[in-house]
Structure 1
C-alpha cells in the first residue's frame, strides 16, 4: 500500500516579476517562490488503480515525482507498506517503479539489452532477469521487436519498452506519468491491459492521464489535483455518481469552472 499525506513543494523562481508583468500570475507564485504543490494527499491499496487528473500545471507531475522519490517534499509524508520513503532512502525507492516523461533508454541498445542492463542495476540475477524480461515482453507485446535497437522503433514501441524498464525490478508500487500520451489505439490498449494485469497481481498502480475514458475503464480510485491541492480523493462513484466517462467529464468541468470563478 502507498499512503501520501499533505505533500508540499515549492521552487525558487528565476524571475519573480515575469508572471506579474504578463498579467497571468498564478496565485501559487508568492514572492520569490512558486508553490507547486500545497496539500496533496492520496492512498492506493494492493489491487487498486488510482487515476490522477487535473488541469495542465496543476501539480500532478510534481506530486508523482515526490511519490517516486525523485523529489523530496518540503512537507508531508509518503509511506510504502508502512515504511517512510525519505527516512529509509534507497531501500524503499527500489520498491517503486516510476515512468516519467524523462524516462529513457539507450538508443543503440536493443530492447532486451536495455532491460537486462537496468535489471542488473537493481541487482537481479541472470535467471531472474531472463524470467522478468520474457514476462514483460509477453505482457507488453514486445517479442517481435525485443532484439531491435531502440533508435529504430516507433514511439509506441519505445513507450512500451520504457514501461518495461520502469518495472523490470518487480516493484511493489507502480507510478506512471501519462503513459498513453501520443500512443495509437492499439498501443494504448496494450498499456491499459498491462495495468489491469498489475491490478490482478495486487500491485498498486497510480497513473496520471488527461483521458477520462481511461479512468472510467481502469480506476478504482480518483485523485483530482487543482492549483496544487487535492480537490477530491475517493471512488469514481463518489465523485461523479457512476463510472461513466461523460459523467466524470461533466463533474470535472463543473468543479474547474467553479474554482476559476472563485479565483476571480
Structure 2
C-alpha cells in the first residue's frame, strides 16, 4: 500500500514554500503524483461595492492574487522538475470550503497547513482546515505554522482510543508506518473507577499493525479524569522524540467538540509537529 496521488494546498502565506517542500519530499518517497491546488481567501465583491470608495479594492486584490498565483505556479513546476516528480497545478476560484473538497476527494493524501494567527494570508476560509478534514474523506497531513519538518514520519506516535476514526487513521497512515523507523502506539486511560472492560487496550490493534511488518511499541498512560487528552498527546509525542502524530479527528460530534473542547481542537491549535488526521 502506498500513496499514489498527493494534493498539497498552496496559498500566499509565508509557509506555502515550506509546505510545498514537504509535499515534494513525500511525493518522491512514495513515487506519487503531486497536485498543487492554489486557493486563497476571496472577498465577496458585493461587500465592497456597497461602500463608497472601496470598489477598487476588490480589483486590486484580484490583481495581486493573480500575480502571486503565477509566481507560485512557476516555482511549483520548477520544483517538480528538480525533484523528478510528476504533477499538475490547479488554481481554483470561489470560496475555498466549496471548491477544494472536490479535488481532495481525488487524492490519496492531502497536505495542508495550520492557520497562523500571525499571518493574515494563511486565512483561507472560515474553519478551512476543519472543513477539509471533515469533508475530504481522505487523510489530511497538517503541518504546523512554525518549525521545520523536512522528513516527517521517522518516529510516529499513534493516538489510539478504539474509535472508528482512530481505526481509519491507522489504516490511512499505513504507508507512513511502513517507512517509519519507530512507531509508538499510545492509549490514554483515566484513573476514575471503572470496570476493566472499559479500559482501552492497545495490544490488539498493535498486533494488527504488526502484521504489516511494522514494529510497534505499545504504551499506556493513566491520567486524572479531568486532564485534557490533547495535552497528554502533545507531551507524550515530545517526550518520545516523535516527529509525527497519527490520530482520528472529531470522534465525537462537532457540537460535543465545540462545547467541551476535545483532543482534535487542542491539536489543531497547539500542534508542534505534523499530524495525520482522518475522519
Structure 2 length normalisation: TM-score? 0.28
The structure whose Rg is larger is: 2
Q: Would you tell me which structure has more strand in proportion to its own residues?
A: 1
Return the structure number with greater relative CO, CA threshold 8 A, min gap 6: 1
